Structure 1
Amino acid sequence: MNKEFKLDYQSPIGVIEIIGSEECIQSIMFVDRDISMEHQPYVPKVLRDCYNQLDEYFKGERQIFTFPYEQKGTLFQQTVWAELTKIPFAETASYRNIACSLQNEKAIRAVGNANGKNKLSIIIPCHRIIGSNGSLTGYAGGLWRKEWLLNHERKMR
């Protein structure tokens, strides 16, 4: 079993907890708590890279992330998450759009379920998913964060 490391990033919209191993990032999630002041004597390079790239994203200097990551899930979830990464920066798509791109228009609810299980916020851009009618839909980090992220990306474009 790989050792797990954690690092908090203070974003403009709250604390983001980064979890990973020596090799890759496994979770990037907003947490409703203050930044952890717990000192870790060692933080792997991949976590420091993730931290720095998130900082560049929030400063408006980065649109693409280059650190290694992995996310465990079913084959269907992996396929949905791969489709999410194809949504262009500062643009949006709906669950229906993703289901159609998977050639399974009836899978809208399953796409929504997979989207909700995404543990790599921002990197796998589930915040770019909106309702078919253009409305903001659920987001684990809260709709206000989703709106902020979409506006942030539009300003950066």
Structure 2
Amino acid sequence: MEKTAVYLSPLGKILLAAEEEQITGLWFWGQKYFPQRLEGAPLTQGCAVLEQAKLWLCRYFAGERPEPFQQLLLRGTPFQREVWQLLRQIPYGETVTYGELSKILAARRGVSRFSAQAVGGAVGRNPISLLVPCHRVVGAGGSLTGYAGGLERKRRLLELERGSLFGD
């Protein structure tokens, strides 16, 4: 059974979900692909992994560089999970393009090319926002594209990581 918690971030309410002491989801409230099944779920008290994730979020939004969160249960197709693992390797404060991700994936698989659109589809379906940093993926030339939590949030997350604290 999934356990849930809410975190009030500077960018809006966040829903966290966990199972078996691993985070299974982190969504901005109402974002694209928000799990409607959890919208009215009772909140869980005393779940260690949810409390650890909330502490990680506190540090993150304070402008610290928290270590990558390890207790994740990535649920998706094998291809999606492979892409999500790549996302976890993007350093804090840096970005990569969908095209660059597709080249990395092609090299890992020993093929000459891989579709940036397929990679983008997997990035967009990431169910664990922030902890699996899909906001660090940008379009060609650094353009802000494709974030399920909204482009304004994506812009502000990238600003936070670059030290401009939400443009202040």
- Tell me the TM-score normalised to structure 2 length: 0.83
What's the counterpart of residue 62 of structure 1? 65
Q: Secondary structure at the match of 1:7?
A: strand
Unaligned stretches of 5+ residues in structure 1:
none
Cα displacement (A) at 1:26: 0.2
SS in structure 2 at match of 1:133:
helix
2:88 equivalent in structure 1: 85
- The CA deviation at 1:98 is 0.5
The one-letter code sitting in structure 1 at the alignment partner of 2:99 is: R
Q: Which residue is 1:142 aligned to?
A: 150
2:131 to 108, 119, 123: 123
Q: Distance in 2 between matches of 1:41 and 1:130?
A: 35
Please list the CA deviations of residues 103-146 of structure 1 after superposition, one character each: whole Å capped at 9, or x if unmatched. 15332111000001101101111100111121100111000000
Provide the residue aligned with 1:45 in structure 2: 48
Q: Normalised by the size of structure 1, how large is the TM-score?
A: 0.88
Deviation at 1:32, TM superposition (A): 3.6
Partner residue, 1:76: 79
Among 137, 140, 162, the alignment partner of 1:132 is 140
- CA distance 1:106–1:65, shift in 2 (3 Å): closer
Give the drift of 1:40: 4.5
Secondary structure of the structure 2 residue equivalent to 1:28 = strand
With over 3 angstroms needed to count, the CA separation of the structure-2 counterparts of 1:8 and 1:97, relative to structure 1, is: same
- The separation in 2 between residues aligned to 1:119 and 1:39, in whole angstroms, is 20
What is the identity percentage for the equivalent residue pairs of Structure 1 and Structure 2?
39
CA separation of 1:129/1:41 partners in 2, compared to 1, >3 Å: closer, same or farther?
closer
1:23, distance to aligned residue in structure 2 (A): 1.5
1:88 Cα deviation from its structure 2 partner: 1.2
What is the Cα deviation at residue 64 of structure 1? 1.9
What's the CA shift for 1:66?
Answer: 3.2
Q: What is aligned with 2:35?
A: none
Query: Residue 17 of structure 2: which of 19, 22, 36 is its match?
Result: 19
* Unpaired stretches in structure 2, ≥5 consecutive residues: 32-38
Q: 2 CA distance for matches of 1:4 and 1:120?
A: 14
RMSD of aligned alpha carbons: 2.0
Per-residue Cα deviation, 1:70-117 (whole angstroms, up to 9, x for no partner): 111111111111111111110101111011001153321110000011
